[in-house]
Structure 1
Amino acid sequence: MPTLVDAVIVGAGFAGLRSLHTLRAIGLSAVVLEASDGVGGVWYHNQYPGARCDVESFDYSYRFSPELEQEWRWSERYATQPEILRYINHVADRFDLRRDIRLDTRVASARFNEDSSRWIVTAEDGRVWDAERLILAVGQLSTPKDTSYPGQDSFAGRIISSARWPKDHVDFAGKRVAIIGTGSSGVQMTPVIAAQAAQLTVFQRTANYSIPAANAPVSDEEDAAVKARYAERREAARNSPSGLGFVPDTRAAIDVPEDERNAAYEAAWHRLGFGFALTFKDILLNADSNATASAFIKRKIAEQVDDPAVLATLTPGDFPFGTRRPSVDSGYFQAFNRDNVRLVDISKTPIERFTADGIRTTAEDFAFDIVIYATGFDAFTGSLLKPEIVGRGGQTLREKWAAGPASFLGIGVHGFPNMFVIVGPGSPSLLSNVLLSSEEQIDWLAALFTHARDRGITEIEATETAERDWVAHVNERAEETLYLKTPSYYLGAEMPGKPRVFMPYSGGVRGYRRILERTAASGYEGFALRTAEQSAVA
């Protein structure tokens, strides 16, 4: 017999745990289904050397409990993966969340029952849950690309994925190591592995911009100062464009005198990390203003790399800064000054195959003991489309999204009543402090569920019109930016055959929250709210 619950939550990362805690608080029963054997989502799996958050620890943390805010002590301004995972586990224990989490439980299918307006969720091991609400909190960067090359099975060494890092200790001492990929994972692990390995070869397809992490220990004085005004800090973050807590200079970068502009960039370079892109309001909107930021960063890269040929390969091309998600590093560029580190440009000499000893490019053979794939993820939709999700009339979510994801507010999908997505496509998600954005959506959904319960509503479904209008609005806002000028995972360009549509909402955290508030104030216009009787004739 299926287990009856008010809500099934898929995913035990930050968003899944927050959803569970919040639904409990409004009196709903919920269960979290998690495919892994531990909580933490991306922070559970991405345990590669150097893994670190690009949002400040004080902001990349839950806001729902003032007591939690005061008692948890962050050690660094930008926390490493082990510290973030300790925090997540502390939250799971402190709020007694584990009793409603089912680990090692991979969802095989979720089917909407049109007779009961409920979801039947089936795990791969055959267990079944019957729930009024289905909440997908699966993350945006949680399905690694299935990257492989011919001959991979013949390689005598060890192959590791950065996104599924092994639990045993990986010893690089005396080893010849390859890293394929120079996104955030590759950038973060390169200097760490370079300091341990006998030889490190980095295979780069596209040079990207990277900003210093500006990390530092959190002093007792800084900790006390933040905690004394934590509520104000949270509100500043909620009312900022990015959720990072600061507002860009309201002037166009190109209009600011060069000396003053460079001084602002210099200050941002040493403090803002990922937030560098918001030094001025129009860096991601105006090509001329963006060019000033791009040129500054390229000068900074040049200051860190000794070899002119290596520098030429590491210097980003003509695409605007920030239109691919920039990395945040701790000594990445300087690592290529080491005698034991080599950079290979596979846009010029592609990888042909693995050999028994290593990797063959079109130019030469390389011998390795360890090869690391740091090749990224099937972003935004990869994890959402893994299980078979079947909505009204037998339509699957994969069929619905064949031409690209469509939703209302990035939360509800027409044809899939009572299904809700947390920080998925169509919401600020990866263009924001994603933890803040997830909490905004979860609190909003809790209010929607309470509204529905108080009125006898059993079915909540985005209308076709609202969904169509929201997709148009997402595209209109994207067209105001420079994002469309660069192939990236924002556009689905990271996967062959993936629809090339703009995935996140670029209207900002503050603007998006105001839309959520207006929608709630209107009685949730854009959603069809039906009683059981109305559902029967819908």
Structure 2
Amino acid sequence: MQRTLTYLLRIRRSAMSSESIARKLSAATDVDAVVIGAGFSGLYTVYKLRELGFTLRAFEQGDGVGGTWYWNRYPGAGSDSESWVYCFSFSRELEQEWNWSCRFPPQPEILSYLEYVAERFDLHSAFDFETRVTSARYDETAGHWVVETDHGETVTAEFVITAVGCLSATQVPEIPGRDSFAGNWYHTGQWPKAGVNFTGQRVGVIGTGSSGIQCIPVIAEQADHLTVFQRTPQFSVPAGNVPLTDEQRETLKRNIREIRENCRWATIGQPYDLKDHGVLDVSEEERRRQFEADWAKGGFEWMFGSYNDLLFDKQANDIAADFVREKIRDKVDDPETARKLIPTGYPIGTKRLPLDQGYFETYNRDNVDLIDVREEPIVEIVPAGIRTESRTVELDTIVFATGFDAMTRPLTRIDFRGRSGVKLEEKWAHGPQTYLGVAMADFPNLFMITGPGSPSVLGNMPTSIEQHVEWITDCMAHMREIGAKTIEPTVTAEQEWGEHVGELADATLFPQADSWYMGANIPGKPRVFLPYIGGFGNYRKLCADIAENGYEGFSIS
């Protein structure tokens, strides 16, 4: 029934396309708000703004909704949050009528869900698709934003809300000769809608982060031969993904309100939280029993629903890391391959911890080779494939699973200019400066959903997104009620927030890793811990208190 309804809604959307085009031709160019992006953030923002009676225009670079799940269509792509919390909670009817197929939803299912949400709440009609916002300039004289698109349209708005995603600016390494390659190459974050057929091909995958760990097992099953080029070995834990039974769905739907409320106050926005004791507080036998039980269960709970000292105490972290290293050795048949796959040099959990489905076992296949590029560096890409210091690996296709310029580049690639023409890219030249990760001094009425300095990527994204959207739209409604024109953080509040974010990070093991959390994957990017690590629940309470105290730290005029 669910699939049938989704199909009918798509037919309805196609039938309405002519009407939609006509409506766009007469679309307003002076609105209350402009929204950029049509993923989870953009869809919910449009829903809330309409509910509150704000006029708006919304823009999306792709030709449909989905955000992350529109672009990341690579084999094996899926969520590492459980399906029943990786979704919206604003509609009780929606929670009850949508049925997830399994514990961790795959990309096609998440995209279908977002398309269903957009159709059910008539959100498509708000968006100009295949339209990229190129610039947004604050006009101090007029007191509004001037937004321009790549179609040459100009729209003025009192507010601009960025729903551009934290991981949407792809990073393709500048390997010499890349454009000389005679075959096809793809980035996992810009995957073709039609998919890629690897049957009979010699494939090279560069990168073993989250997307690499997801796509490598699937590609290995299709390709004639797969060569993985690994720079940094990764810790990974089993996903433990399983289909959901009808009984499980009924139980989840019956308890979903309580589950989602727990998410709102948990450390990483998931339906579990850290234990109230550390790994060093229990016996070796007890910690082993608990590690094994959580490992068998699968999912992030192994690390982030576990002992409370793993990310703060190096000795405790080493115990957890050694457990995972042991598991990797057990899974990989060849000792030399296992040696290359063993992570060293950084604490477990301080890089994004992937969930895998048979990743390490993939290296037991006869058609899979692993090249450690620290021991055997890539020299260049040649027409025939990839040349290392010792050989040329002949390839038909190259997959770059090399991640993103996270959190900042999705915003700085748009030419934002605030008061006195200050450019966002220049303001952030030495690292992002925000207040709460939602706003910036000198950029009045510009709100960021899950921007740098917010919890965002450190947990369940829908939990963080809903909190941000609700806080931002409540703020806009408050301004309308009191007749205020502009709101922006004070310089002092922005500076103090940045110091607070840094101090919290420095109290953990996170800065010891060269991760994208630190911007270390981008040459020349300032080394700054980008998200807020104080916990989703603590952050939610702090934001609520700030609003309750008359938006403390903001200047309202």
Contact 2:74 2:195 in 1 (8 A): no
Aligned to 1:214: 240
- Does 1:333 find its partner at 2:360? yes
Tell me if structure 2 keeps the 8 A contact 1:117–1:417: no
Moved more, 221-230 or 168-177: 168-177
For 2:502, the equivalent position in structure 1 comes to 475
Query: For 2:303, what is the secondary structure of its paired residue?
Result: helix
Q: Which amino acid aligns with 1:139?
A: G
| SS, match of residue 336 in structure 1 | helix
Q: Partner of 2:250 in structure 1?
A: 224
1:417 matches 2:436: no
Deviation at 1:462, TM superposition (A): 0.7
1:268 aligns with 2:294: yes
1:490-512 deviation per Cα after TM superposition (whole angstroms, max 9, x unaligned): 11101011111110000010110
Structure 2 gap segments, 5+ residues each: 1-26
CA contact (8 A) 2:137 2:145 kept: yes
Q: Contact (CA 8 Å) 1:475, 1:502: kept in 2 or not?
A: yes
Q: What TM-score, normalized by structure 1, do the two folds share?
A: 0.97
Q: What secondary structure does 2:345 align onto?
A: coil
Write the distance in 1 (CA, Å) between the matches of 2:385 and 2:279. 47
User: Which residues in structure 2 correspond to 1:29-44 (within 5 Å)?
Assistant: 29-44=55-70
Instruction: Map 1:13-24 onto structure 2 (within 5 A).
Output: 13-24=39-50
Give aligned pairs, total.
530
Structure 1 window deviating more from structure 2 (339-348 vs 284-293): it is: 284-293
> Within 5 A, what are the aligned runs for 1:511-522?
511-522=538-549
Summarize deviations over 1:297-349 as a string: whole Å, max 9, x none: 11111111000000000000131000001111100000000000000000111
Q: How big is each residue's C-alpha offset from its partner over 1:33-57, in whole Å with a ceiling of 9 and x where there is no partner?
A: 1111121111111101100110000
Match of 1:165 among 188, 191, 198: 191
- What residue in structure 2 maps to residue 501 of structure 1? 528
Contact residue 8 and residue 31 of structure 1 kept, 8 A: yes
Partner-residue secondary structure (3-state), 1:48: coil
Asked if the contact 1:277–1:284 (Cα under 8 Å) also holds between the matched residues in 2, the reply is no
What residue number does 1:151 align with?
A: 177
SS in 1 for 2:222: coil
Shift of 1:525: 0.7
- Letter paired with 2:282: V
User: Do residues 190 (structure 1) and 178 (structure 2) align?
Assistant: no
Q: Are positions 1:430 and 2:457 aligned together?
A: yes
What CA deviation, in whole Å up to 9, does each residue of 1:120-140 have, x standing for no partner? 100011111111110011111
CA distance in structure 2 between the aligned counterparts of 1:451 and 1:44, rounded to whole angstroms: 34
Choose from 223, 226, 233 the match for 2:259. Answer: 233
Letter in 1 for 2:127: I
Tell me, yes or no, if the aligned pair for 1:254 and 1:292 is still in contact at 8 Å. no
Aligned to 1:202: 228
Match of 1:293?
320
Q: Which runs of 4+ in 1 moved over 3 A?
A: none
> What residue is the counterpart of 1:50 in the other structure?
76
Kindly indicate whether residue 481 of structure 2 is the aligned counterpart of residue 454 of structure 1: yes
8 Å CA contact retained: 1:239, 1:245: no
- Would you say the 8 A contact 1:2–1:128 is kept in 2? no
Q: How does 1:330-369 map to 2 (within 5 A)?
A: 330-369=357-396
Q: Secondary structure at the match of 1:135?
A: strand
Question: Which residue of the partner structure matches residue 534 of structure 1?
Answer: none
Amino acid corresponding to residue 269 of structure 1 in structure 2? W
Gaps of 5+ in 1: 531-538
SS at match of 1:50: coil
Contact 1:211 1:329 (C-alpha < 8 Å) held by counterparts: yes
Q: Which residue of 2 aligns with 1:535?
A: none
Mapped to 2, the partners of 1:93 and 1:302 lie a distance apart of: 48
What displacement does 1:2 show? 7.0
Match of residue 513, structure 2, among 469, 486, 493: 486
The answer to whether the Cα contact below 8 Å between 1:240 and 1:247 also exists between their aligned partners in 2 is: yes
TM-superposed CA distance for 1:271, in Å, is 2.5
1:7 and 1:134 in contact (8 A); partners too: yes
Aligned to 1:116: 142
2:11: which partner in 1? none
The CA distance in 1 between the partners of 2:172 and 2:134, in whole Å, is 19
Tell me: CA distance 1:361–1:223, structure 2 relative to 1, closer, same or farther (3 Å).
same
Corresponding residue SS for 2:312: coil
**Residue in 2 that maps onto 1:383:** 410
2:89 maps to 1:63: yes
C-alpha separation in 2, matches of 1:125 and 1:405: 29
Q: Check conservation: 1:75, 1:217, Cα contact below 8 A.
A: yes
* Aligned counterpart in structure 2 of residue 302 of structure 1, from 329, 342, 347: 329
CA contact (8 A) 1:6 1:132 kept: yes
Deviations 1:70-125 (A, max 9, x none): 00000010000000000000000000001111111111110001122211100011
On the 8 A contact 1:157/1:369 being kept in 2, the answer is yes
Matched-pair contact (CA < 8 Å) for 1:294–1:321: yes
CA apart distance, 1:272: 4.4
Q: Which amino acid is the alignment partner of residue 500 of structure 1?
A: R
Farther off after superposition, 307-316 or 245-254: 245-254
CA contact (8 A) 2:58 2:127 kept: yes
Contact 2:172 2:400 in 1 (8 A): no
Taking only aligned residues, the RMSD between alpha carbons, in angstroms, comes to 1.1
Taking the aligned partners of 2:56 and 2:295, their CA distance within structure 1 comes to: 44
Q: Secondary structure at the match of 2:237?
A: strand
Which one-letter code corresponds to 1:73 in the other structure? Answer: N
